[in-house]
Amino acid sequence: MPRTGAWIPRRRAIYLAAGLILLLVGGGTAAVGTLLFSGQARADRPIADLVPETPPDVPGQWGTHYVDTTAQRSEWGLEGQATRTWTHPEGTTVRVTVGRFGSPVSASLAFARTNPRQRTEEASGEKIGEYDAIFDERPQHLPTNHDGVQHFCGQLLDKPGICDTRWLLLRHGQYLVEIVVVNGASPDGSLPVWVQSLAETVHRTICARAPQVG
pLDDT in tens, 89-140: 888 899 999 999 999 999 999 888 877 766 555 554 444 455 666 766 666 6
Task: In whole angstroms, give the CA distance from residue 110 to residue 125.
Answer: 22
Q: How many CB atoms lie within 10 A of CB 108?
A: 22
pLDDT at 34 over 60: no
Comparing 24 with 131, the larger pLDDT belongs to 131
Residue 18 maps to a domain = yes
Residue 154 has a CB neighbour count (10 Å cut-off) of 24
- Mean pLDDT estimate for the chain: 75
The DSSP output letter for 44 is P
pLDDT above 70: residue 163: yes
In this structure, the answer to whether residues 8 and 102 fall within a common structural domain is no
pTM beyond 0.85, yes or no: no
Cα–Cα distance measured from residue 86 to residue 97, given in angstroms and rounded to the nearest whole number: 12
> Which whole-number Å values give the CA distances from 211 to 44, 55, 63, 100, 180, in the listed order?
11, 25, 32, 18, 30
Pair (115, 185) in one structural domain: yes
Looking at this protein, which amino acid is placed at residue 112? A
Distance CA 129, CA 92 (A): 19
Q: What is the pLDDT of residues 61-77, one digit of tens each?
A: 888 777 887 766 667 78
Contact (CB, 8 A) for 56 and 86 = yes
Structurally, how many domains does the chain consist of?
2
Q: What's the sign of the alpha-carbon dihedral 118, 172, 98, 152? A: negative
Range of the domain at 28: 1-36
Q: Is residue 72 part of a domain?
A: yes
213: in domain: no
On whether both 15 and 59 belong to a single domain, the answer is no
Q: What CATH number has the domain bearing residue 141?
A: 3.40.1000
The predicted-structure confidence for 81-103, as pLDDT tens digits, reads as follows: 999 999 988 888 999 999 999 99
Is 9 within a domain?
A: yes
Are residues 52 and 126 located together in one domain of the fold? yes
144 and 65 in a common domain: yes
Q: What is the pLDDT of residue 177?
A: 93
